[in-house]
Amino acid sequence: MANISKLFSAELDGINAKLIEVETDINVGLHVFTIVGLADKSLKEAKERVNSSLKNIGIKPPTKENRRIVVNLAPADFKKTGSQYDLAIAIGYLLATKQIKNFNTQKSIFAGELSLEGKLRPINGALSIADLAKKQNFENVFLPEQNAIEAAIVDEIKIIPVADLNQLIKHLENTITIPAQIKTRVADSNKFPFLNIHEVKGQESAKRALTIAAAGGHNLLMNGPPGTGKTMLAQALNSILPPPNLDEIIEITKIYSAAGLLGENSYIDYRPFRSPHQSASLPAVVGGGQTPRPGEISLAHRGILFLDELPEFRRDILESLRQPLESGRAFISRVKSNLILPAEFILIAAMNPCPCGYYGDKEKECRCGAYEIIRYQKKISGPLLDRIDIQINVPRINIEQLRNKTEANEKSYELKNKVQKVRNIQSQRLKDIKKLTNSALNSKECDKYIHLTNDAEKFIKEIFDKSLISARGYYRVLKVARTIADLEDAENVEQKHLAEAFSYRLKEI
């Protein structure tokens, strides 16, 4: 008579987890240990890890069974990858052979990689698995103890940290009790070693633009000769961004956990700052690959994506940013399935005006020909530029500003408090549509939530009638103007707010 056990594990699908049923059948026949259900090579090797770990903790392993052992991972038409099934396969085998009795597996998820001596190694995507367990009304999640703090961010689920297989078996047999992981209390820890904005000398107009970008979540392009502080300004933006809230921390941590980039961190409680090199490939920036993984735009979710020397990036990479900048999501299409990854980031880009970098500089003569300058600037397409709300020039600063040792007009914490206040205003205004910043508004929502004074109405009509901006540019000007009005605590958008917002789209690029 066949002995069958059934329990649950999970597979990562992008950054979300998918429930997988692990069925183990022990039947009469010559010894065979087979894993079926579209398992990849690393998963098929699980039988060797399970054999060795069970043998080394003193339990009769499958290799000593003169019976046919079949492990099925359902649904069978969904590809399974990775080593996180080791724990579920081992427990499923012990249940099917009656070496563990009277344990209800219907309310538990098991995930973890086994070492040959029976210890558990950490896995990717533990937070996603805990989130899945909550949505599917499971009660327990058994995970390696290194993943427990990360997974415990999710409320209403009992996370059981497991050190080794022997300990788990005793827990399931009620010989011992493994205490559940204490729920994580997340707080802003300022772990990210960002540069403070008041450390940047001069460039007050650029700092103003950065403040607007931070307050409303707007994209920004800095154009200017080399050495004027564009990179420093981009790095300093994080010092005035408010810390992420709990929901944002969970979103960010799920992405980094799925990508295997948590490192020694249990969770990410700061806003990411990603700066890919110009040689990065398209899958590295957008996401994808043979086993789809989050790219740089998803790793920058709720934070900053900084592209230095923007024209040096490949054209296909730059054009692939157009759709995520509009929708806040990255769509990865495959023959068998499509994947949607979150990608709501602030794009900060920097570029020189020409190949040598000194076109238009009053101090140093440009050595580039007219054709070279035009060709260099045309690497950035009009549609991509149209999606960048704020475009500024960052000029060279003089020696007096560089040597000035007086305190900046506003410290970074003062600007940070101002940005936080404005973001609170926006989240309160937009709570009905569950959006956090002005930049996330679509055209219909702009008409509903952005109100202009009579003078502002005349001004924006005059701008549009002269065809100085596109329809998309019109709404982006409105959103930036609304953020400027919020910074001044104004109820309606006035003409001066529109004028400043419009000035950020007139830069020669």
Q: Does domain 3-172 have CATH number 3.40.1170.10?
A: no
Burial class, 338, CB count within 10 angstroms (exposed 0-12 / middle 13-18 / buried 19+): exposed
Name the CATH superfamily for 219-396.
Answer: P-loop containing nucleotide triphosphate hydrolases (3.40.50.300)
> Cα(159)–Cα(150) distance, rounded to whole angstroms?
10
Residue ranges per structural domain of the chain: 3-172, 219-396
Residues in the chain, total:
509
pLDDT at 193: 56
pTM of the model as a whole: 0.90
- Choose among 147, 104, 133: nearest CA to 5: 104
**No. of helices (H) and no. of strands (E), the chain:** 21, 18
pLDDT at 106: 87
Contact present, 116 and 128 (Cβ < 8 Å) = no
pLDDT in tens, the chain (509 residues): 458 999 999 999 889 999 999 999 998 888 899 999 999 888 889 999 999 999 999 998 888 888 899 999 999 988 898 899 999 999 999 999 999 887 788 899 999 999 999 999 999 999 999 999 999 999 999 999 999 999 999 988 999 999 999 999 999 998 999 999 988 666 555 555 568 887 888 788 999 999 999 999 999 999 999 988 899 999 999 989 999 988 899 999 999 999 999 888 888 989 999 999 999 999 999 998 777 889 999 999 999 999 999 999 999 999 999 999 999 999 988 766 788 999 999 999 999 999 998 888 888 889 999 999 899 989 999 889 999 999 999 988 877 666 676 655 567 788 889 999 999 999 999 999 999 999 999 999 999 999 999 999 999 998 888 767 888 889 999 999 999 999 999 999 999 999 999 999 865 44
> Cα(209)–Cα(438) distance, rounded to whole angstroms?
15
Q: Which secondary structure element, helix H or strand E, spans residue 456, and what is its range?
A: helix 454-465
pLDDT at 432: 93
pLDDT at 122: 95
Q: How many CB atoms lie within 10 A of CB 294?
A: 26
> Cα(134)–Cα(422) distance, rounded to whole angstroms?
33
pLDDT at 508: 44
pLDDT at 66: 84
Q: Would you state the structure tokens that stand for residue 77, as one six-digit string?
A: 């038409």
